[in-house]
């Protein structure tokens, strides 16, 4: 019966079974489309040369299951047969049909439509028979796949090939490229940095014209902002729209407080009533266009607005901050709270109904709760709108980055994360509830760390992920590679206690890393079998427990602390250690530690050692140790005060140096000798390099940036890889100033008149280059004299060399996603005249953009920073000029970012002795005083720092308790303020 159906008869009548005159069209003719047979999905790479002509793409299958792809063009184009040898050319046959064959008169291209949207069918001859396919039964493919996703970066670097001979410390002549090329998004891309870029461009133009901050009365209402507004706080408040002016506000106040107010109050009442009626009728859009904006509920005492008229009706419903009425705090009391409650209920109802966009609009534009608006858009999977709103509202970068990721803007998300340096915050906030985004953040973070030779940090930031019951095999393999890379980096100068602990507990003891045979002879194994640097790790442990290593007591205590932190028998990657050699190694280590350092063990150390013995199933030993611990009294080996002894020998004084994460040091002496020293001060390598003016350690890597300044002016940057003893030229740049430390991904510098942060990945690449992650073009008459690296609000202090402003100190701060602001440091607080605060060394601390500058030698003396205005600038410039006449000298600043210690130099007139006080950032008890003769002046060489932080984002690389000082006789002093020890190296 099916063969006699009307549908079957019509189908047979419609299909011409006669063999066509041309079953396949020639590739030499113009085509209206292509069919790819045997292809499951379209190949975007091959189609990109044709994308300007492509109007639609479908894919599906023939009746026998053969997969096909149909591509329609907007106009007829020629096809290259070498590129598409197996594709079927298609032409427009009947008005709505693409066909792959022709009969007689059909050999010419038909005059039918070529609009892909109007096509209905495709008619092909394949496999000896005709196939008529309705395009509506195929799956449409978005043609935007033929274009790259929008890429948004702040700056693009142009890399330069550099040839450096082995052991050569001098780069080739020529300037390293420092590019400021802006890459704008294509199409409807999200312009992540447009607002900041516009603000900085505006600043650059005004400084170029010599009119630095000439906006009249700008400082009368708070801090000077260079841009469109001030950044929001924790609530995410965006800049307020411009409301009534002073005169209009005054007229409004008079009208509200006079009999004339009745008509205006009635107008407001009518507006509210109209909004309520529109809401009741379901006309939500019209109601929102008329609704009054209330503003934030907890905004504090903002200045009252007394409008003289009703606010304008909104022309459109979007999340723009450039119009749509201003907030109405004039509505107070019950009216305000009732209306606010009505708005909140409306937002909840819209969200329940699935109208997330309008619900977010109510939160953002009427209630000024932008964070809730962004989260509402996220619930509705409107990620692009959420990302745009998070940027416009100046919410914290981590929220905007998450929205970019969910919107598929991966390049933008990564660029913003690198620019703001907030990987740790991203990892913490995404750890619960956003597993895919968390994995993306960790992958991007570790890629950056490995690219800058910081594999130990990569291990630290993935420790929490490795703790899960069944970790990702790909992550386990990556962590093994990172451990091997860490061992290779440290093999030349000895392993850090954390590296030893990680190698012991995570190594494979089946012969892959360590060979198990011979362990019964530990710690007197004559030959240790294994691969890579693993045997060297076990040999160093043998030297420690046999007390053959320098400072074995201190190093064994450090190893105890490291083993306690990383010992987790339940972790899969540690199963080989705790199920094998743990009992032998831990027992020998514990006995040696008790024998050599029992007087230095605190009750906490004793408890940690007991726990370690229990993990190794040495329960009897652990019980005996617990009984001993009740009677044990630790002896304090540290000291609060220490005096520098006289020198017994003389060497060339140390002028510059830096402290690496593993305790090794790189120093440069005045006789041009560059030295790499181990933690005990022994020379591991040395060579002569001239004209060095700075040594900067790169994060927690073994790399050091060498800054040389030859007589010809331009600074020469070279990367010294301390683990390979090799130099890698970067090039010449006009380096005016730089931070003395780096984060794990950025280095704050001033190049010419531009201040910002450059990417460490580019400096450490095989072909190095300089890439700005963010920068501010100021003027070359401002010189940065101090930097403070705060991921949320990086800051710097400049000293002016401009005529009439000489010596003026300005404190700049850039809130990522917010504004560039400046304040003036005022050494004459209050009166703007003498007496002045004397030039001295200052401690500079900051948290979330709030800066504090206090005197190093007088903790209660604070230099205030005042909001910029033209009048205040002229007053302070005059103060600085007069101050320089009566109080010679210059102000210097110690940034206490990265938890670095504070170092105070004190010398009393007429006294034969001077003191240096070192105050650690970890606790107030971490304090030491060093006394020395006045003629034996000590110089601050380097302060250790903390990279990362403890907690769910992993362990921190912490050297913040250590400070390096140098004396005129060439001695190097390492101060460990936590252990209260001073070592002369």
Q: What confidence score (pLDDT) does residue 964 get?
A: 92
Give the separation between CA 34 and CA 43, rounded to whole angstroms: 13
Residue with token string 């306690």: 564
The residue that leads in pLDDT, 344 or 41, is 344
| Average pLDDT value over all residues in the chain | 75
Q: What confidence score (pLDDT) does residue 784 get?
A: 92
Is the pLDDT at 341 greater than 90? The verdict is no
Give the separation between CA 360 and CA 371, rounded to whole angstroms: 9
The residue that leads in pLDDT, 169 or 936, is 936
The pair phi, psi for residue 531, each rounded to 5°, is -120, 155
Residue with token string 């997969």: 67
916-972 pLDDT, tens per residue? 888 877 666 678 888 888 888 889 999 988 877 544 445 666 777 889 999 998 999
Q: How confident is the model at residue 287 (pLDDT cuts 50, 70, 90)?
A: low
Residue with token string 């069919």: 35
The verdict on whether omega for the bond into residue 835 sits within 30 degrees of 0, i.e. cis, is yes
Q: What confidence score (pLDDT) does residue 233 get?
A: 35
Name the range with the highest mean pLDDT among 251-265, 299-313, 547-561.
547-561
Sheet holding 692-697, edge to edge: 692-697, 703-708, 715-721, 726-733
What number is the average pLDDT over the span 162-181? Answer: 43
737-768 pLDDT, tens per residue? 999 999 988 999 999 888 889 989 888 888 88
Q: In DSSP terms, which residues pair with 685 in a beta bridge?
A: 676
Give the separation between CA 99 and CA 105, rounded to whole angstroms: 14
> Do residues 757 and 747 make contact, with C-beta atoms less than 8 angstroms apart?
yes
Is the pLDDT at 706 greater than 90? The verdict is yes
The residue that leads in pLDDT, 289 or 418, is 418
Rounded (10°) angle between helices 619-629 and 603-615: 170
- Collect all residues with Cβ–Cβ distance below 8 Å to 920 and sequence separation of at least 6: 901, 926, 927, 960, 961, 977, 978
Range scoring the smallest mean pLDDT among 420-424, 454-458, 475-479:
420-424
Is the pLDDT at 141 greater than 50? The verdict is yes
The pair phi, psi for residue 350, each rounded to 5°, is -60, -40
Q: What confidence score (pLDDT) does residue 320 get?
A: 56
Beta strands 703-708 and 692-697 are: antiparallel
Q: Cα torsion for 401, 402, 407, 409, to the nearest 10°?
A: 40
Could you give the percent of the chain with pLDDT greater than 70?
73
Residue with token string 């892909």: 116
> Do residues 389 and 402 make contact, with C-beta atoms less than 8 angstroms apart?
no
Handedness of CA 597, 602, 603, 606 (dihedral sign): negative
Sheet holding 939-943, edge to edge: 939-943, 962-966, 972-976, 981-984
Is the pLDDT at 657 greater than 90? The verdict is yes
The residue that leads in pLDDT, 526 or 6, is 526
Q: What confidence score (pLDDT) does residue 243 get?
A: 44
Give the separation between CA 846 and CA 841, rounded to whole angstroms: 17
What global pTM score does this model have?
0.67
Cβ density class 124-146: b for 16+ within 10 Å, e for less: bbbeeebbebebeebeebebeeb
The DSSP string of 648-699 is SS--PPEEEEEE-TTS-EEEEETTSEEEEE-TTS-EEEEEE--SEEEEEE-T
- Collect all residues with Cβ–Cβ distance below 8 Å to 255 and sequence separation of at least 6: 261, 264, 306, 308
757-804 pLDDT, tens per residue? 998 988 888 888 888 888 887 777 889 999 998 877 889 999 988 777
């Amino acid at each position: 019966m099916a063969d006699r159906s009307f549908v079957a008869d019509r189908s047979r009548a419609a299909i011409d079974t006669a063999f066509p005159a041309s079953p396949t069209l020639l590739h030499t003719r113009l085509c209206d489309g292509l069919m790819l047979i045997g292809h499951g999905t379209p190949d975007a790479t091959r189609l990109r040369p044709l994308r300007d002509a492509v109007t639609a793409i479908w894919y599906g299958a023939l009746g026998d299951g053969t997969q096909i792809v149909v591509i329609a063009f907007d106009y007829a184009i020629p096809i290259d047969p070498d590129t598409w040898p197996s594709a079927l050319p298609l032409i427009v046959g009947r008005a709505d049909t693409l066909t792959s064959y022709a009969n007689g008169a059909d050999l010419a291209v038909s005059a039918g439509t070529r609009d892909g949207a109007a096509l209905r069918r495709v008619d092909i001859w394949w496999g000896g028979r005709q196939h008529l396919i309705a395009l509506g039964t195929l799956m449409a493919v978005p043609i935007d796949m033929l274009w790259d996703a929008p890429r948004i970066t702040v700056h693009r670097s142009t890399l330069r090939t550099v040839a450096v001979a082995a052991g050569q410390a001098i780069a080739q002549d020529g300037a390293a490229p420092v590019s400021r090329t802006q890459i704008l998004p294509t199409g409807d891309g999200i312009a992540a940095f447009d607002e900041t870029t516009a603000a900085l461009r505006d600043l650059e133009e005004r400084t170029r014209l010599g009119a630095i901050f000439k906006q009249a009365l700008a400082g009368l209402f708070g801090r000077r902002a260079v841009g469109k507004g001030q950044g929001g706080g924790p609530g995410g408040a965006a800049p307020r729209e411009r409301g009534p002016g002073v005169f209009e506000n005054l007229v409004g106040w008079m009208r509200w407080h006079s009999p004339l107010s009745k008509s205006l109050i009635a107008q407001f009442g009518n507006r509210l009533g109209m909004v309520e009626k529109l809401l009741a009728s379901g006309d939500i859009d019209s109601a929102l266009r008329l609704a009054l904006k209330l503003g934030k509920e907890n905004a504090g005492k903002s200045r009252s607005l007394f409008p003289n008229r009703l606010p304008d009706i909104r022309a459109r419903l979007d999340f723009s901050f450039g119009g749509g009425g201003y907030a109405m705090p004039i509505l107070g009391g019950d009216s305000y709270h009732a209306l606010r409650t009505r708005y909140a209920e409306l937002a909840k109802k819209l969200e329940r109904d699935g109208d997330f966009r309008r619900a977010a609009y109510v939160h953002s534009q009427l209630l000024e709760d932008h964070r809730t608006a962004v989260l509402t858009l996220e619930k509705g999977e409107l990620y692009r709108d959420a990302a745009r709103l998070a940027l416009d509202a100046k919410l914290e970068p981590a929220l905007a980055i998450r929205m970019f990721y969910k919107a598929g803007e991966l390049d933008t998300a990564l660029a913003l994360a690198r620019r703001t340096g907030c990987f740790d915050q991203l990892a913490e906030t995404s750890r619960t509830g956003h597993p895919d985004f968390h994995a993306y953040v960790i992958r991007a973070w570790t890629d950056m760390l490995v690219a800058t030779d910081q594999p130990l940090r990569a291990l630290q930031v993935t420790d929490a992920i490795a703790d899960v019951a069944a970790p990702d095999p790909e992550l386990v393999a990556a962590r093994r590679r990172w451990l091997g890379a860490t061992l290779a980096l440290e093999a030349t100068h000895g392993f850090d206690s954390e590296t030893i602990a990680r190698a012991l507990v995570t190594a494979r003891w089946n012969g892959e890393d360590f060979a198990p045979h011979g362990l019964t002879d530990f710690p007197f194994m004559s030959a240790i079998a294994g691969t890579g640097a693993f045997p060297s790790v076990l040999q160093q442990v043998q030297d420690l427990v046999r007390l053959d290593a320098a400072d074995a007591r201190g190093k064994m205590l450090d190893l105890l602390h490291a083993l306690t932190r990383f010992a987790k028998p339940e972790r899969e990657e540690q199963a080989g250690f705790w199920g094998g050699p743990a009992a032998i190694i831990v027992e020998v280590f514990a006995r040696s530690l008790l024998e050599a350092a029992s007087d230095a063990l605190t009750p906490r150390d004793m408890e940690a050692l007991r726990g370690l013995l229990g993990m190794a199933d040495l329960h009897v030993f652990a019980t005996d140790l617990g009984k001993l611990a009740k009677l044990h009294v630790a002896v304090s080996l540290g000291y609060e005060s220490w005096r520098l002894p006289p020198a017994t020998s003389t060497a060339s004084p140390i002028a510059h140096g830096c402290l690496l994460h593993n305790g090794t040091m790189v120093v440069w002496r005045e006789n041009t000798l560059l030295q790499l020293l181990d933690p005990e001060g022994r020379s591991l390598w040395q060579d002569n390099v001239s004209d060095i003016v700075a040594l900067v350690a790169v994060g927690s890597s073994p790399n050091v940036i060498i800054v040389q300044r030859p007589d010809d002016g331009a600074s020469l940057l070279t990367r010294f890889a301390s683990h390979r003893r090799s130099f890698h030229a970067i090039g010449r740049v006009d380096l005016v100033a730089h931070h003395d430390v780096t984060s794990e991904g950025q280095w704050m510098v001033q190049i010419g008149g531009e201040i910002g942060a450059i990417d460490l990945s580019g400096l450490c690449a095989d072909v190095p280059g300089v890439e700005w992650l963010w920068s501010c073009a100021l003027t070359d008459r401002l010189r940065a004299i101090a930097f403070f690296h705060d991921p949320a609000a990086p800051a710097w202090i400049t000293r002016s060399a401009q005529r009439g402003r000489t010596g003026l100190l300005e404190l700049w701060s850039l809130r990522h996603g917010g504004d560039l602001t400046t304040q003036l440091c005022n050494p004459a607080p209050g009166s703007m005249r003498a007496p002045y605060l004397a030039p001295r060394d200052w401690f500079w601390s900051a948290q979330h953009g709030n800066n504090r500058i206090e005197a190093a030698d007088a903790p209660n003396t604070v230099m205030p920073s005042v909001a910029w205005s033209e009048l205040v600038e002229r007053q302070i410039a005059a103060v600085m000029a007069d101050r320089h006449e009566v109080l010679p000298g210059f102000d210097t600043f110690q940034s206490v970012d990265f938890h670095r210690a504070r170092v105070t130099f004190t010398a009393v007139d007429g006294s034969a002795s001077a003191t240096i006080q070192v105050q650690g950032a970890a606790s107030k008890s971490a304090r030491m005083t060093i006394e020395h003769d006045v003629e034996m002046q000590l110089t601050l060489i380097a302060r250790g720092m903390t990279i990362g932080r403890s907690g769910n984002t992993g362990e921190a690389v912490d050297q913040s308790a250590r400070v390096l000082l140098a004396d005129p006789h060439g001695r190097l002093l390492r101060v460990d303020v936590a252990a209260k020890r001073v070592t002369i190296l």
